[in-house]
Amino acid sequence: MKTKENKMKISQTSALRLMQRLGSAFLACTLVIGATGSALAGQTRDEAAVRALGDTFAKAFIQKNPELRASLFAENGTFVTPTGDYLQGRVTMVKDFGSEAQAVNDTTQAALSNYRVRFIKPDVAFVDAVLTLHNINGPDGTIIPVIPVNFFYVAARHGDKWLIEDGRAHFAPAPANSMTSGH
């Protein structure tokens, strides 16, 4: 009889240890999932803030607000315009961005799309997007219906906010149409 009791006690002890291990494993998994979820939520917030830089850049263009556009950059940030002008520092950007206001009319629209955001480090991101401008005043006074611009920038966290360190804009190939498709 004692052997049966001993076997039962050993069996109960083994079952108790197994339950403790399973409980510890479950707790560890819960902590890992919680930490991962928290990290993903933080990255999602950061990505939204980094995208907002591009969206605000486009809105400020339409609003003819060169100060707001320049404020999105680090104090000594750089920007290369689609025509190849190299701008360094906010003061220089405000001057150049101000002269672009003549291209904007009452029907002009600007929007970024096709965002690709890659975090190089938790506080540094590379962004590749397409800025599509609609109804822009051309140099000869005609309205240009669509101008696609490839827009790239590196954003970095400065304290509690993100700023553009370096931006590059290049005219993209025009979308194919019946005149260019070769048919």
What's the pLDDT at 31?
45
Where residue 154 falls among pLDDT bands split at 50, 70, 90? very high
Give CA 90 to chain center in angstroms.
21
What's the pLDDT at 173?
83
Query: What mean pLDDT is reported for the chain?
Result: 84
CATH of domain 2-171: 3.10.450.50
Q: Give the residue, 10 or 142, on which the prediction is more confident.
A: 142
What would the two tokens of residue 31 be? 């902590």
Nearest to 45 by CA among 35, 37, 33, 56: 37
- Please state, in angstroms and as integers, the Cα–Cα distance from residue 131 to each residue in 31, 50, 69, 113, 172, following that order: 41, 15, 14, 7, 9
62-73 tens-digit pLDDT: 999 999 999 999
Where residue 5 falls among pLDDT bands split at 50, 70, 90? low
Nearest to 103 by CA among 76, 128, 83: 83
What's the pLDDT at 100?
87
Where residue 41 falls among pLDDT bands split at 50, 70, 90? low
110-126 tens-digit pLDDT: 999 999 999 999 999 99
- Give burial (CB, 10 Å; 0-12/13-18/19+) of 155: buried
